[in-house]
Amino acid sequence: MPQIQKYPAGWRVLHWVMALMVLTLIPVGLWMASRAEADIRGALTNTLYSVHNAVGFTVLLLIIVRIIVKIRVKAPPYPESMPRTLQMAARSVHHLIYLLLVLTPLFGWAGVTAFPALAIVGDLELPRMPFIEQDKELASRLFYIHGWLAITLGVLIAGHITAALRHLLRKDGVFQRMF
């Protein structure tokens, strides 16, 4: 069996930290949205929004770091046994995930800026997104787009996880590159 080339340790840590953050954002986002839709207000709802906003903004900052790393550090090659069409599909899905990891939090940040709901905890607030005015109708549209982007991202992540588990079970070396 050929030697498995792995991603650098820092890249792997960043991947798994972001994976945990995004896998936290999705259920927290769904929970807070369902509470808002049911008009359930209170400390728990506020905490869910604060956590979601803080973690989402952190994901935005980290994906920028990841993109810089991705540009500067060459990814290990896929195994030669992996069909070229499958490699192209994997790259395409990864690029879509990266794109959505930028767009989804950007629309969320724009929404909380327009609403406005920038408070995280105590007096700590997210910075206002430049060029976004306070407008609740605009906020509603931005949150709508944010929600659909998040759902799309969730579907792609589910496919990514499924493919990763398939590679783990097949022991073809693809999963081991990031683990």
Domains of the chain, by residue range, sit at 9-177
From CA 93, how far away is CA 167, in angstroms rounded? Answer: 15
pLDDT in tens, 100-139: 999 999 999 999 999 999 988 888 999 999 999 999 999 9
Phi–psi pair at 121, nearest 5 degrees: -150, 135
Predicted model pTM: 0.92
106, two tokens: 């950007």
- CATH number for the 9-177 domain, one of 2.60.34, 1.10.150, 3.40.50, 1.20.950? 1.20.950
CA atoms in the 13 A half-sphere facing the CB of 171: 2
pLDDT tens digits along 43-77: 999 999 999 999 999 999 999 999 999 999 888 88
* Helix-helix angle 9-37:43-72, to 10 degrees: 150
- Give the tokens for residue 118: 């920038």
